[in-house]
């Protein structure tokens, strides 16, 4: 296990579509080690998720986890560690929420994006077991953010109103209170 360097916006690897992982390949030491590295790197950076592109690998795998008391995201409900391999997302309904997002690959910038409130996620876990789940609320937003990475898409691309871009310092100073109130309302309505 190792903490890897997180690549930042401008690195072409973040713009590549990651490729599917075959079942045999998933069992390999290399891919299992990559998954361990994603978990270690995400936890060290206090992220909510990390996709393989962000550590320079173009394989379709990402990890999502929000630990209770995460200092980057105090308003996010906990998400148990979930390793998603070859994920496919599908919106359920057309309800949209405006979510203020940041990204470990886009240092010191946040912006407001629109995300589906409910998505169906199909993936296999690191043991090759198939899963199909519905994710709602902020958690659904996190899954959409990570699967975007695997398609070479950054949250920057989804910001419709560029005046919502802020540094973390200005977010804390001017925008955090209003966003956290909206976020907590979404969590109350959706349970996640
Ligand atoms: Zn990101």
pLDDT, tens digit (0-9, with 9 covering 90-100), for 80-95: 999 999 999 999 999 9
- Under a CB-based contact definition with an 8 Å cutoff, are residues 73 and 47 in contact? no
Higher pLDDT, 30 or 69: 30
Residue 146 annotated among the catalytic residues of the structure: yes
Q: How far is the CA of 50 from the centre of ligand 1 (A)?
A: 7
Q: Band of the pLDDT at 7, cuts 50, 70, 90?
A: very high
Please identify which of the residues 98, 133, 146, 169 carries the catalytic annotation.
146
Helix, strand, coil tally for the chain in percent (to 5) = 40, 30, 30
The rounded radius of gyration (Å) of the Cα atoms in the chain is 16
Q: Is 7 helix (H, G, I), strand (E, B) or coil?
A: coil
What average pLDDT does the segment 33-58 reach? Answer: 97
Q: How far is the CA of 122 from the centre of ligand 1 (A)?
A: 20
pLDDT of residue 74: 82
Token representation of residue 80? 């148990």
pLDDT of residue 113: 98
Q: How far is the CA of 127 from the centre of ligand 1 (A)?
A: 24
User: Domain 12-190 classified CATH 3.50.50.60?
Assistant: no
Q: How far is the CA of 155 from the centre of ligand 1 (A)?
A: 7
CA distance 23 to 131: 15
pLDDT of residue 85: 98
pLDDT of residue 69: 81
Token representation of residue 100? 């203020």
Q: Where are the domains of the chain?
A: 12-190
Q: How far is the CA of 142 from the centre of ligand 1 (A)?
A: 9
pLDDT for residue 72 is more than 80: no
Q: In what helix (H) or strand (E) does residue 66 lie, and over which residues does it extend?
A: strand 61-66
pLDDT of residue 192: 87
Concatenating the DSSP letter of every residue in 159-191 gives: BS-GGG-B-HHHIIIIIHHHHHHHHHHHHHHH-
- End-to-end CA gap in the chain: 30
**Model-level pTM?**
0.96
pLDDT in tens, 97-141: 999 999 999 999 999 999 999 999 999 999 999 999 999 999 999
pLDDT of residue 147: 98
pLDDT in tens, 132-191: 999 999 999 999 999 999 999 999 999 999 999 999 999 999 999 999 999 999 999 999
């Amino acid at each position: 296990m190792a903490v890897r360097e997180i690549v930042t916006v401008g690195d072409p690897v973040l713009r590549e579509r990651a490729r599917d992982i075959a079942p045999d390949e998933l069992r390999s030491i290399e891919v299992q080690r990559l998954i361990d590295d994603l978990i270690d790197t995400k936890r060290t950076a206090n992220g909510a998720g990390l996709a393989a592109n962000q550590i320079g690998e173009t394989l379709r795998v990402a990890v999502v986890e929000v630990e209770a008391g995460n200092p980057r995201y105090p308003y996010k409900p906990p998400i148990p560690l979930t390793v998603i391999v070859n994920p496919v997302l599908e919106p359920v309904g057309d309800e949209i929420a405006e979510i203020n997002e940041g990204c470990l690959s886009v240092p010191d910038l946040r912006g407001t994006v629109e995300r589906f409130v409910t998505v169906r996620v199909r993936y296999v876990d690191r043991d090759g077991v198939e899963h199909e789940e519905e994710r709602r609320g902020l958690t659904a937003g996190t899954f959409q953010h990570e699967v975007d990475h695997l398609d070479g898409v950054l949250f920057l691309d989804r910001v419709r109103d560029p005046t919502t871009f802020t540094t973390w310092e200005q977010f804390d100073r001017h925008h955090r209170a209003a966003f956290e109130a909206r976020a907590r309302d979404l969590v109350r309505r959706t349970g996640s």
